[in-house]
Structure 1
Amino acid sequence: DERELTAQYLNHWDAIVTPADDLLEVKTLARAAMDCGSPYDLLLIGPTWSLAQQLELAQDLRRNSQFAAMPLVLMTASRSYSERPKILNTVFLGADPLQRAGLLRAVAAAVGRMSPEIAYDHSEFEMPAQQPVSVEEAEKEGTLILIAEDNLTNQDVIGRQIRLLGYAAEFSENGAEALKAWKTGRFAALLTDCHMPTMDGFELTKTIRAEEGDTKPRFPIIAITASTLEAEVKRCYDSGMDDFLAKPLEMPKLQAVLKKWLPKPTLKLHPQAAQSVHESLNTESPESGSGDAEGPIDPGALIKVFGDDPVTINEILGDFIQPARDNVAEIQSAFDAHSPDNVGTAAHKLKSSARAVGATELADLCLTLERAGKGGNWNEIEAKMPRLKDCMDEVQAWIARKI
């Protein structure tokens, strides 16, 4: 039973689930909960009902001021984006078949804890440039991008993505350096990590906005961060940022944001190469069932980030090893020094770069260490540390076989 399976998934994530037998009961229960002062955080409508019936319910709820902002997830039998109208605070989920990862993403997106999937018209994509544009050319065209990022692997990954899309970028390792670079007036937009030494992305953005005042044009600032929690996203916008991208950056989403804030790059890809990238962009994501997610590296994650470009993927994997080894050594040193704060800080560095190359278990392990470090949970750190070296060894061995 699909409803029972959905409830099991949600209960596993510690959600409190109230089932309803029909759409009338949904409205009755929702109103009763609202009247009691304990409204539901989310309404999820299964694919038992047609899309037309679901939309009628959604629009009926939206007409009532009490439910105007209540998050909705509509599970549909069809995966076609063209059939899905834009409705405030509503996320659509193709549920034929129902996949746990897709359900989690839809629910998280509906309550503001993850970026929702975006419907892309791949036929309208401007494909990557055949020859990388130079910094000088980009500056002249008004498309030069400033990127504030302290992690070397992330710099490498994002830089390659930017070049594949026909843009050029320069990097700053912290907010203070980025602020100095911004003052030169050479850049058309800023992509900034939120958490960096010396000056973080939030302070950088506030400083730029203060210096702009009311006289200068607003400079586009886009957050790039591994955290998609609602509080983090809100903090980005509250500090003065204009847009938000979750790491690892996905090519279609990165391209959509750059297209929104920057002029189009002038160079175009050769048609044959464009077809290769077009096909890779239409490849199902790992959470949809493609890729070898069972090994230490998920190839599907890399294809999602870079497209079907084995040369670039192998270079990224090769460049990942030594910085990752250095990060592991830094985590171990912090552990040996019995410093939970430093364990968390060092684990944060490795987490995002591991995620970028598809090393999911390693990234998840680092996330656990990061949270334990921030919370001062030494028992959790001690429990997870023995796995760190073995996990890194497995990643390195997989990469050695691959390249």
Structure 2
Amino acid sequence: LTASVLDDDARRCREAGMDEVLAKPLSLATLRTALLRWLPQAQGQSFEAPVQEAVADDGEVLPDLATLQQRYGSRAVAEQLRDSLLQASEGDLAAVQRAVQAGDRETAALHLHRQAGGLGAIGATALAGQANALVERLQDATETDPASLFVAVTAFVARLQQQLQRLAH
């Protein structure tokens, strides 16, 4: 199990001899499927087919509480993930906004990277990908037009804040 979801990390784990890489947090259905794949099965013992997992990522939309509950199997876990994301996002997005206003690309990238991790953890992979793309641009020394970059970061933060407000209610 790993908190890292980078393809390169998974490749290195497989090259080191690992049979499978599971990214945290993982759903019960994903864990069950992996266990059934790798655990020796008693002869003649049958297992019911794993329940298909709901897709938590709907393009550019955060999963709602019901989707998180279905994915992770528990309302308490879903609420904890939601609350953790909301709390971390408040500080990180405020820090991104302050950094943008100060023209501080490094700090903006740091906090946007943290935000991408939180988004990926709840299954909002499209939003995490957008955040990571902005992080790469912020870290790219050849990006010569910081004004347009900061506009893109500000627009992303505003869209994300709206979705976080919906998730909170």
TMscore range, shorter length: 0.5 to 0.7
Q: Mean alpha-carbon deviation: is it higher for 391-400 or for 360-369?
A: 360-369
Q: Is the 8 A contact 2:59 2:126 kept in 1?
A: no
Higher strand share: 1
Query: How big is the shift at 1:361?
Result: 5.6
Name the residue aligned to 1:293. 58
CA 1:386 to 1:306, structure 2 compared with 1: closer, same or farther past 3 Å? same
Aligned pairs for 1:3-402 (under 5 A) are: 222-228=1-7, 231-237=8-14, 240=16, 242=18, 243-255=20-32, 256=34, 282-286=51-55, 293=58, 296-299=61-64, 302-303=68-69, 305-307=71-73, 309-359=74-124, 362-376=127-141, 377=143, 378=146, 381-401=149-169
User: CA separation in 1, counterparts of 2:124 and 2:85?
Assistant: 10
Q: Name whichever structure is richer in helix by fraction.
A: 2
Aligned-pair identity (%): 18
Verify the 8 A CA contact 1:372 1:380 in the aligned structure 2. no
In structure 2, what is the Cα distance between the partners aligned to 1:283 and 1:244?
Answer: 19
Closer, same or farther: CA 253–338 of 1 in aligned 2, 3 Å: same
In the alignment, residue 251 of structure 1 is paired with which amino acid?
L
1:325: Cα distance to partner?
A: 0.9
User: Compared with structure 1, are the counterparts of its residues 223 and 252 closer, same or farther at alpha carbon in structure 2 (3 Å cutoff)?
Assistant: same
Unaligned runs of 5+ in 1: 1-221, 262-277
Give the letter for the 2:10 counterpart. Answer: V
How far apart, CA to CA, are the structure 2 residues paired with 1:313 and 1:241?
Answer: 33
With structure 1 as the length reference, what TM-score do the two structures score? 0.32
Greater length-normalized contact order (CA 8 Å, ≥ 6 residues apart): 2
Mapped contact 2:58–2:124 kept (Cα < 8 A): no
TM-aligned CA deviation for residue 326 of structure 1: 0.9
Distance 1:224 1:395, change over 3 A: same
Equivalent position SS for 2:62: coil
Offset at residue 328 of structure 1 (A): 0.9
**Which one has the largest radius of gyration?**
1
TM-score, normalised via structure 2 length: 0.66
Q: Which runs of 5+ in 2 are unaligned?
A: 40-47
CA deviation profile, 1:166-224 (whole Å, cap 9, x unmatched): xxxxxxxxxxxxxxxxxxxxxxxxxxxxxxxxxxxxxxxxxxxxxxxxxxxxxxxx443
